[in-house]
Chains A and B, each alone.
Chain A
Amino acid sequence: MQIAWRLIGYLRRYWLACGAAYTCLLVVTGVELFIPSLLRRGIDCGMKASGAAEKLANGCPADTDPLTVVGGAALAIVGLTLVKGAFQFGQGYLGEYGAQRVAYDLRNEIYSHLQKLSFSWHDRSQTGALMARATSDVEQLRNFTGRAFLQMAQFALVSIGVTVVLFVTNWQLAIVSLLTLPLLYRSAANFVRTVRPYFYQAQEELSVLASIVQENLAGAKVVKAFAREPDEIRKFDEQNELLLKQYMLAARAQAFANPQLDVLAQIGTVMVLLLGGYFVIVGTLSIGELVAFNTYLLLLVRPVRRLGFTIGQSSRAIAAGERIFEILDAPVDVEDQADAKPLSQITGTVTFDHVTCSYYGGEAVLKDVSFEAHPGQVVALLGATGSGKTTVVNLIPRFYDVSQGSVRIDGHDVRDVQLLSLRRQIGIVLQDTTLFTGTIRENIAFGVPDATDEHVFAMAHAARAHEFIMEFPDGYATRVGERGVTLSGGQKQRIAIARALLLDPRILILDDFTSAVDTETEALIREALNVLMEGRTTLVIAQRVSTVQSADQIIVLDHGEIVGVGSHEELLETNDIYAEIYQLQLMDESAVHATSEKTTTELVGANGNGGGNRWTDAPQRHGPNGNGVARPDLAAQAVRRAD
């Protein structure tokens, strides 16, 4: 019910349209109730029943020609139907209009609310589920708001009107003919309750079948390689049989329930014929009234039948509404404080002061982290997957809030300033290199839509994206995303770098920014960055030691704690974890192979969790510039010598 009230709240914005729709409904119902009486008049006053009981003159003008009366009635029917048609259109259109607007509003609201929700909320939600809410759940609700409220109102109006008219005409006949209505309603509701679950179950079986197909297609090669087709076909056939059975259950239930509604609806007609016929013979009812009675009854049948469905629909709509409002009611945990001031031009000192951070009240992801990064410095963060590197950088633009301690920029706690003013001054290359539908230029200028061409090109150059962009026929006007060209991971990453650089930020954050580009390109990008980083505060997350070793400060993280700070040389001597990472990455492949059995046991023993996924870096990924890694010129010399 609460959901219904909230929906009504949304509808209220369109009170004019809604009010008009209900007005139309009133007119339509009025005309509908009036037309049978015209029929009655036409039949009673205009037609001669030879030998019939002379109870015909009921309410007919005595001195008029019968044909004039009929003509009047016929014309009135046509005229009123015309009027009714206009209002019927109005009712249908305006009712839907409100519903469509509400759907539109809901979608926009969900959308903008999602934009406000912090990363920690998004970490927990799945895109697929959110999509379902914004599309199918809203559609569900739309169907309901559009028709259900109007239908209920119509049902109420028609049933009250018809009941009154019937009782006024002939109360005995009214009681008898209305007897079947509760039954009709019950069987319609029953239908919804009993038949729907069968179809629902069948739908479930179908989705199981679909996943079997999907898997078979995705694994086609493996299935063929292991000659498993017969087993796959058997598995499918079994599920196919199940589906067949479920469909048949549904079909049987429906087959008997569906015509039942028709039969019940017509039983009323039989009653009217029988009892009404008797009354006509006796002379207490006219033939016209008998016909009108039947017409009135038919007026009631449709809304009653539909009501059963509407009620079935309402439970699903309410469930959909609950899911939608669950999103809309999700508290925005990261938002501007009431007295937040805009952050003025920063110089770029980043301070972490005893920061502890935990997501959704769980275990702390960062524990008591303190460090400071100054303008012009490059600070590198190193650590295993899950050690908290990404969390550190995500706290700076305030994608999350700290649990304890504070993150300060130029001495301002990030929670005390306006989010937009903060984020506009930070350039970040996320692991997530999502590009948006549009041209490449639009994507690079994502943060600065009014950037000049020269500026955009320059940044693309620096990110080593310019060359491949120019290889596309449309250059910077090439469309990406939906219906556009598909870019490789490395290309996307380079555009994301250009996008961040274009902001000309005082603080630059690079989260594993070259994971998808080859080592040569990485070197070129780094070269360009070296120039661009000058004077800025740069935070870099990397997997490769070679990438971080030239940093001013390397922070080694393990399980959310800082376990080492210093330069490459310092850490190599003093920090075991750092040294271990370095050694592992430089391990000679042939040595690994020759002693693989031994090494495996050793590693398992040493680490306690051997096959774990701690360092997502492989030996073959070494860059050409690192210490101890071959330099191309050296190799070339070697070749020449070998020749």
Chain B
Amino acid sequence: MGGPFWRGVRHQNNTKLFNGRVVRRLWDYLKPHKWRIMWALALVCVTSAMQLLGPYLFKVALDEFVIARQDIVGLIVVALVFTGTLIVSWGTQAYQAVSMAIVAQAVLNRMRAELFAKINHLSLSYHDRHESGVTMSRIINDVAVFQELLTQGIVHVVADCLLLIGILGIMLAMSPTLALLTMSVLPVMVIATIVFTSTARKAWLRTRETIGEVAAGFQENVSGVRVVQAFAREEVSKKRFDKINRGNLQANLRAVTLASMYPPVVEFMSMAATAIVLWFGAHATLDGTITIGVVVAFLFYVNRFFQPIRELSQVYNLFQQAMAAGDKIFELIDHPIDVEDKSDAGEMRSITGRVAFEQVDFSYVDSVPVLRSINFVAEPGQTIALVGPTGAGKTSIASLLARFYDVRGGRITVDGVDIRDVTMASLRRQMGLVPQDPFLFSGTIADNIRFGRLDATDEEIVQAAKLANAHDFVIRLPNGYATRVFERGQNYSQGQRQLIAFARAVLADPRILILDEATASVDTRTEVLIQAALARLLHGRTSFVIAHRLSTIRNADVVLVINHGAIIQRGTHRELLGQPGLYRDLYLTQYRHQIRGSQLVEEMATA
């Protein structure tokens, strides 16, 4: 009947109604609960039966007891039975809802847990390529789509189908002719519902888009309100917003028009069916072929006819959304993990700190090599400064060492052990990392330092903070170490965050330290604190520093100059300054700003 129609709808929405993979995967989640689902479905059947019984009981009461026998006792019995069906259906509905809620929440819970575990196991290359907002939306929004589908969708499909079939069956049984006549409105009804559902959905989508535009316009103008006022452009900016606002109004009015059209259509069909029952029913009662009770029951059934159709169309929408969401969820869950422990990976023993890169090749994307034939050895306790222009590959070298990514060619060894042969956890526990923009987690300052080693005592935390020069500013905070850090530590300056990150690294006491120096400027006093702390932090560890400070470079044992993914110069600061090449160019364009002119001349002269 509706073949071309459904296909048409599917096309417009551009998503598959039935996605085999999603359904199969979903079944994996549902399987453990199959008995509970069966139980819920059984309860649904009972509910539907009870609901179908109502009008029939009315008919029996009218025909048998009121009209034919005028039997009050019988009437009371029917009323009691009627009440019984109501109570039963209350119970079955409630328990069915609880069962399905248990199933749904268990499934959702497992999906969320698996997604979260997955994003923690994926290497950084996944996170590099996917915006965190999108990944987050998988866990929060996409999973939530299944909630409605599971708690209501599945059950409603069954219940609605049962009701429809039941009503049709009972009507056919009571009076085939009258049933068929009544059903003549059904196709119109179904078509109207399908057309309405698809057009209305598009209209509502449009309203959501436009409210998004309103929000964006509002945001832009509110955050720029100072500029607007400074340039006395309030009128123009008002007009701009009005235009966007009006777009939303129009989209809403269009959606409202559609939404206001549907109920009258449904009611008209319903009343048309009522009129049919009345007209043909009257003929039949006069002929004596059916009883008044049948007509009355028909009237009631016709009344209930349209609810299931409307609900089915909603479930259809729900199902479609769930397919789209499921596709995205399972894509993430099934995403191959590119960096993982080998099955026979052992624990990394206590590191002394000799690090070697042997012929290391690396690329994030196949076609674009990032590092080529990197070779170097860092002896225990040495500080290696990585220097070079932006995009040269310094950060990649540091990231490979922590095994955030795997090398494409060659190998990296720590104390002679290939880092791919040991577990990541055992390796990383002995490494410390201080990123360029130190990330603080919400919680207290102490929590953030403790992140370096969870079993650290308060005393040790204070000790670490002192070594990192963070103690002084921490104790001046309103609650000292118990002061809260807000989202991402925005309430602390860059320099302060840096010091806390140092403290975290000090506490972890790693044998190997990877440090990405901040480029952003901090105030002069904090800078002094940072440098002092840095010197202490680097002492006695094998350290890799993506260096931006001249002082760090000067004090490094080895400076590796990286350009276009290769080491093009190596040596100490003084050695490199003596040779023409990239290092000296960099020194002149960047680092020289860090010292005074007279000093520069001296420096250049002695090199």
| B437 shortest CB reach to chain A, Å | 10
Which residue from chain A places its CB closest to the CB of B92 in the assembled complex? A259
Whether the Cβ atoms of A66 and B282 lie closer than 8 Å is yes
Assuming the contacts A47-B295, A93-B260, A617-B523, asked whether A287 and B605 have C-beta atoms less than 8 A apart, the reply is: no
Residues of A within 8 A of B234 (CB): 112, 115-116
Residues of A within 8 A of B525 (CB): 584, 603, 607, 610-612, 614-615
Whether the Cβ atoms of A139 and B594 lie closer than 8 Å is no
Encoded as 1 (CB less than 8 Å from any A CB) or 0, chain B from 112 to 149 comes to: 11001101110010010000100110011000000000
Whether the Cβ atoms of A53 and B283 lie closer than 8 Å is no
Assuming the contacts A47-B292, A600-B532, asked whether A273 and B139 have C-beta atoms less than 8 A apart, the reply is: no
Whether the Cβ atoms of B101 and A233 lie closer than 8 Å is no
**A348: Cβ under 8 A from any B Cβ:** no
**A490: Cβ under 8 A from any B Cβ:** no
Contacting chain A: which of B3-11, B247-255, B377-385? B247-255
* Bound Cα distance from A496 to B136, whole angstroms: 35
Whether the Cβ atoms of B256 and A97 lie closer than 8 Å is yes
Assuming the contacts A436-B220, A599-B528, A603-B528, asked whether A73 and B120 have C-beta atoms less than 8 A apart, the reply is: no
Whether the Cβ atoms of A53 and B521 lie closer than 8 Å is no
Assuming the contacts A104-B248, A291-B299, asked whether A255 and B132 have C-beta atoms less than 8 A apart, the reply is: no
**A552: Cβ under 8 A from any B Cβ:** no
| B528 shortest CB reach to chain A, Å | 6
Whether the Cβ atoms of A638 and B600 lie closer than 8 Å is yes
Number of interface residues of A (CB under 8 A): 176
Residues of B within 8 A of A586 (CB): 596
Contacting chain A: which of B161-169, B266-274, B318-326? B266-274
Q: Which 8 A-B pairs have the closest CB atoms?
A: A92-B260, A251-B101, A85-B264, A225-B433, A255-B97, A618-B521, A434-B224, A217-B132
* Bound Cα distance from A610 to B136, whole angstroms: 40
Residue among B127, B264, B295 making CB contact with A84, cutoff 8 Å: B264
* Bound Cα distance from A620 to B553, whole angstroms: 14
Sampled A-B contacts (11; CB under 8 Å): A51-B67, A78-B272, A116-B234, A119-B229, A127-B223, A225-B435, A241-B109, A251-B101, A259-B93, A588-B595, A604-B472
* Bound Cα distance from A258 to B93, whole angstroms: 9
Q: Which of B252, B260, B275, B604 has the most CB of A within 10 A?
A: B275
**B576: Cβ under 8 A from any A Cβ:** no
- Not counting A66-B286, A231-B454, a sample of 19 additional A-B residue pairs whose C-beta atoms are within 8 angstroms of each other reads A131-B222, A135-B214, A219-B439, A222-B451, A225-B402, A225-B435, A226-B433, A244-B105, A258-B97, A262-B89, A280-B66, A287-B296, A291-B299, A436-B220, A449-B236, A499-B231, A589-B595, A610-B473, A615-B524
Assuming the contacts A92-B259, A430-B226, asked whether A274 and B75 have C-beta atoms less than 8 A apart, the reply is: yes
Whether the Cβ atoms of B527 and A619 lie closer than 8 Å is yes
Residues of A within 8 A of B493 (CB): 613
**B188: Cβ under 8 A from any A Cβ:** no
| B488 shortest CB reach to chain A, Å | 6
Whether the Cβ atoms of A224 and B428 lie closer than 8 Å is yes
Looking at chain B's contact residues, the main secondary structure is: helix
Whether the Cβ atoms of A88 and B264 lie closer than 8 Å is yes
* Bound Cα distance from A631 to B234, whole angstroms: 46
**B33: Cβ under 8 A from any A Cβ:** no
Residues of B within 8 A of A111 (CB): 218, 221, 238, 241, 245
Assuming the contacts A111-B218, A638-B601, asked whether A590 and B282 have C-beta atoms less than 8 A apart, the reply is: no
A417-432, CB < 8 A from B: 419-420, 423-424, 426, 428, 430, 432
* Bound Cα distance from A291 to B282, whole angstroms: 15
Looking at chain A's contact residues, the main secondary structure is: helix
Number of interface residues of B (CB under 8 A): 171
Residues of A within 8 A of B246 (CB): 104
* Bound Cα distance from A111 to B496, whole angstroms: 38
**B364: Cβ under 8 A from any A Cβ:** no
* Bound Cα distance from A405 to B256, whole angstroms: 56
* Bound Cα distance from A42 to B296, whole angstroms: 11
Assuming the contacts A213-B139, A215-B442, A217-B132, asked whether A70 and B279 have C-beta atoms less than 8 A apart, the reply is: yes
| B271 shortest CB reach to chain A, Å | 4
Which residue from chain B places its CB closest to the CB of A28 in the assembled complex? B264
* Bound Cα distance from A616 to B599, whole angstroms: 24
Q: Which of B221, B249, B487, B525 has the most CB of A within 10 A?
A: B525
**B1: Cβ under 8 A from any A Cβ:** no
**A107: Cβ under 8 A from any B Cβ:** yes
* Bound Cα distance from A617 to B79, whole angstroms: 87
A270-291, CB < 8 A from B: 270, 273-274, 277-278, 280-281, 287, 290-291
Whether the Cβ atoms of A291 and B140 lie closer than 8 Å is no
Whether the Cβ atoms of A432 and B597 lie closer than 8 Å is no
Whether the Cβ atoms of A588 and B599 lie closer than 8 Å is yes
**B184: Cβ under 8 A from any A Cβ:** no
Whether the Cβ atoms of A639 and B584 lie closer than 8 Å is yes
